[in-house]
Amino acid sequence: MTLVQNRLLRLSGNNVLALFSALVLLSCNAFKVVSNDEPVVVNEKTADKKETEDKKETDEPEVIESKKLITVDFFGEEFQVEPHKTEFKVALILPFHYDAETARERRTSDYMLAYYQGVKLALNNLDLNGLKMKMYVYDDESNLTELSSILRKSSMKSMDMIIGSVGEKQINMVSEFGLKHDIPVVSPFTTLDSVKSSNPKLYCPTPGNSDKTKGVISFVNESYPDNSVIVVSDESPYSASMKESYQEAFESTQRKAVAYENPSYNGWGNILSKDEPTVVIVLSRNPTTVSTTLSNIYQTKRDVVVIGDYSWSNFQDNDYKFWDKMKVHLVASDFVNDTAADVKNFRINFRLVNRTDPTVYAYIGYDQFMFMGEFLMAFGEHFPGYIIDREFRYLSSNFHYTYSNGLNRNSNVFILKFEDFELTPVE
């Protein structure tokens, strides 16, 4: 069951189609109860031998308090789980901007709408699989004052989980509220390397730049252990912050990475080695800079592997045949394999319900809530002890939470390569 607070007129849909969608998606279920008939004694009162001998036959029998562990299968692995809650209340706080006025607010509203559409498909699926949930949806309008007002609502203290909001200041505010009231908090989009107050129940499902850096370094060290490494930056805020991180991280693995600025420089023949292959990490999200850099590198006819950001795939007029020759690899926090059967089913059902194709935000919303709903059904309030340092795969996201710097971050990163002119994950 879901209960939606606040009006979401733009989000209304056809209930019959939503139900049909959920039925088709039942095959995605990764959790089931195997058995619940294993008694385990958790507290047994014992009596002194002398007291036992002195007991009268009329005394009441000794009381044994026991619980039954539930055996559940979660992603093919069996767990013995303590009895737990079976009904949940979840708050979803996002900048929906119902009354959007600016272009930026309308763009944010569209993203949040797409995310919520994915959420609703997940909840329909989970409802049919037995999840009992009341969901309360709030619009904080990207406003700290409005967010503070939402958190002051008396109902918020009794939530089993809070999803949201967006922005570092907002997440820190919600995290501190959750910490105070012992409520798990999920940051659906905002990535944090650290928080003001350590919170073992704060979860960031979107890998941050530090996680991407670690993923790239691990990939390079395993796949190209003998290659020289060059990191080039266009000195935009993004690349400037990443360049130093890459250099320090490579040095920590006893490997040197040479850094250069101005990646569109046409003197690459003087930089790249003639005798040994080179890994070139291009820290730019500018289409012109990236295109010029790759062309200049290609003209040297040197053996090069190029690593870039997944945002490159959204550039217009990409020459993927050229990228294939350049051995281009892209780093992504999520990836949708359009040829996978479960992705095709999701896309069909999303179209039936919403009369449009799903965006990346719809996939993210679906995956995050499917994961959340399934681990709540399997483990209830005890879920933190079961999902850390394990990997779980959904449509577009893999979840592999590790605890560091005061919070749980999804450390899974996709390294994608071009193969037969298609992007495929490097396993």
At 221-278, the pLDDT tens digits run: 999 998 889 998 887 888 887 888 888 888 888 888 888 777 666 788 888 888 888 9
What is the rounded CA–CA span in Å between residue 309 and residue 410?
18
CA dihedral angle for residue 219, residue 222, residue 223, residue 227, rounded to 10 degrees: 100
| CB 284 within 8 Å of CB 293 | yes
Tell me which of 203 and 256 has the higher pLDDT. Answer: 203
Q: What are phi and psi of 164, to 5 degrees?
A: 125, 175
Q: Given a cut of 80, is residue 33 above it in pLDDT?
A: no
Confidence (pLDDT) at 242 = 86
Q: Report the percentage of the chain scoring pLDDT > 70.
A: 84
Residue among 146, 167, 162, 166 nearest 199 (CA): 162
Confidence (pLDDT) at 413 = 94
What is the rounded CA–CA span in Å between residue 18 and residue 24?
10
Q: Given a cut of 60, is residue 185 above it in pLDDT?
A: yes
At 287, is the secondary structure helix, strand, or coil? helix
Q: What are 402-422's pLDDT values in tens digits?
A: 998 899 999 999 999 987 778
Confidence (pLDDT) at 61 = 53
Q: How confident is the model at residue 66 (pLDDT cuts 50, 70, 90)?
A: low
Domains of the chain (ranges; CATH) run 9-27+85-206+340-412 (3.40.50.2300), 209-332 (3.40.50.2300)
Q: Report the percentage of the chain scoring pLDDT > 90.
A: 60
CB atoms within 10 A of CB 23: 13
88's tokens: 């949940």
Most confident of the following: 18-22, 272-276, 295-299: 295-299
Q: What are phi and psi of 235, to 5 degrees?
A: 65, 25
Q: Given a cut of 60, is residue 142 above it in pLDDT?
A: yes
Average pLDDT across the chain, whole number = 85
- Whether pTM > 0.95 for this model: the answer is no
Confidence (pLDDT) at 28 = 52
Confidence (pLDDT) at 190 = 93
Q: Given a cut of 50, is residue 427 above it in pLDDT?
A: yes
- Phi/psi class of residue 301: alpha, beta or left (left: φ > 0; alpha: ψ in -120 to 50)? left
Q: Given a cut of 90, is residue 423 above it in pLDDT?
A: no
